[in-house]
Amino acid sequence: MSDLNKYRIAKIKRRTNLRQTLQNLPKVDLHRHLEGSLRLSTLAEIACEHGVDLPSYDIEELRPYVQVTTDEPPDFHAFLEKFNFLARFYSKLDCIERISYEAVADAAQDNVKYLELRFNPVTLALSQGFCFEEVVERVISAVKKAEQDFDITVKLLITIRRDYDQDISSRIVDVAIRYTDQSIVGLDLAGDEVHYSAQPFARLFNKAKEAGLGITVHAGEAAGAESVRTAVELLKADRIGHGVRASEDLTVMDLIREKGVTLEMCPTSNIQTAAVKAITRHPLRAFFQIGLPVTINTDDPSISNTTLTDEYMVAVRDIGVTVPEIKQMILTGVRAAFLPPSEKEQLEVRFTEALNGSKEESQLPRAKYSEA
Ligand SMILES: [Zn+2]
């Protein structure tokens, strides 16, 4: 065998070993949208069963409608457009339940042990005339069933879109507060950051925070660092979705550090939305090195065709994060979970034990955090 072939084989082996190591890590995903977590196979089945009109019923031909493909130029609005297509498949309450269950099953398969899944009840309700409560209850019921079937703890966040008016946003906040004793732990602001400021949502988000909900805001993704400042100062965000463009302003980075705001970074998504120009320039590691609380998440596994293991691979291979640093980011995720302090402490003990082990990393004790 030539030296070149030996070199190639050794490289493939190293990559396989790295993937296995990362796959085995017990994971935390704080930023994953239910609407972006639909299996392509399920999408085709729902379309056939319920007569959803599609340009094609072949999974491969549907792929470009759902997923960002490699020949597509990175674009924030094109990325958001995929959600409009996916919303057509939440056509029946049973479909919503199935998609929610499968989203958790897929996370568990990737060794995610703690998942905060976010969804927008308006998207899911309005197209078919369901009320918000019906949608929320179906999602809760599906994730609770999945928690029984898989070794994973799941909490839910409710998402409001920036283009919503105050009336509908206020109704969503009231629903979120009503279900805080049933898995709903946080409120999220998402959508078109370029054309809609977060500022009009300050009062509602402050009300949600006073009611005990955690606050996270998509910011510093399509708009600059000032958008992050608004989210932190006015909406009192505990966490920021993405926040990559905080790197444009030292005073905003200082604000994040002072307030202990955790950044939910999603490397592949950040490239596809053009929030970051090149993956090697992603600020994840630089933020980590200057002491900002950073975590790695998936955002939309179906749209980005990714898993959390894939995102860890990108972090290590392309951004230069080390495996010990990945472990620290996982623990940062645990500390930023929207859980009561006692549950969070128990979760941290279990993750610390599992991450300190080497061969047993894929296993966490079976007991649920809330029961421990
Ligand atoms: Zn997101």
- Among the listed ranges 69-78, 100-109, 234-243, which one has the minimum average pLDDT value? 69-78
pLDDT tens per residue, range 288-298:
999 999 999 99
Mean pLDDT value of segment 313-324: 96
pLDDT surpassing 70 at residue 372: no
Mean pLDDT lowest among 88-102, 218-232, 292-306, 344-358:
88-102
CA of 216 to the centre of ligand 1 (A): 10
Residue 70's pLDDT band, with cuts at 50, 70 and 90, is low
- Does the annotation mark 221 as catalytic? yes
- pLDDT-derived band at 127 (thresholds 50, 70, 90) equals low
Please identify which of the residues 35, 97, 193, 221 carries the catalytic annotation: 221
Higher pLDDT, 85 or 193: 193
Task: Please determine, for residue 148, whether its predicted confidence score (pLDDT) is greater than 90.
Answer: yes
**Per-residue pLDDT at 361 exceeds 50:** no
Give the pLDDT band of residue 368 (cuts 50, 70, 90): very low
- Give per-residue pLDDT as tens, 222-256: 889 999 999 999 999 999 999 999 999 999 999 99
User: Separation of 33 CA from ligand 1 center, angstroms?
Assistant: 6
Let me know if 73 is exposed, middle or buried by CB neighbors in 10 A (0-12, 13-18, 19+).
Answer: exposed
8 CA distance to ligand 1 middle (Å):
37
In angstroms, the CA 143 to CA 101 distance is: 6
Give the CATH fold of the 31-357 domain. Answer: TIM Barrel (3.20.20)
Q: Give pLDDT, residue 25.
A: 97
- Residue 270 scores a pLDDT above 90: yes
Instruction: Please report, as a single letter, which amino acid is at residue 55.
Output: P
**Rounded to whole angstroms, what are the CA distances from 197 to 93, 119, 131?**
32, 20, 27
The band of 359, judged by pLDDT with boundaries at 50, 70 and 90, is very low
Mean pLDDT value of segment 277-304: 95
pLDDT at residue number 21: 94
- 3 state SS of 61: helix
Q: How many CA atoms lie within 13 A of 51 on its CB side?
A: 0
What mean pLDDT is predicted for residues 333-360?
Answer: 89
Query: Collapsing DSSP states into helix, strand and coil, what is residue 63?
Result: helix
Q: What's the CA-to-centroid distance between 295 and ligand 1, angstroms?
A: 13
Can you give the pLDDT at residue 12? 75
Q: What is the pLDDT of residue 362?
A: 42
Position 138 pLDDT exceeds 90: yes
Q: Is the pLDDT of residue 35 over 50?
A: yes
2-6, 71-75, 172-176, 182-186: least confidently modelled range: 71-75
φ, ψ for residue 11 (rounded to 5)?
Answer: -65, -45
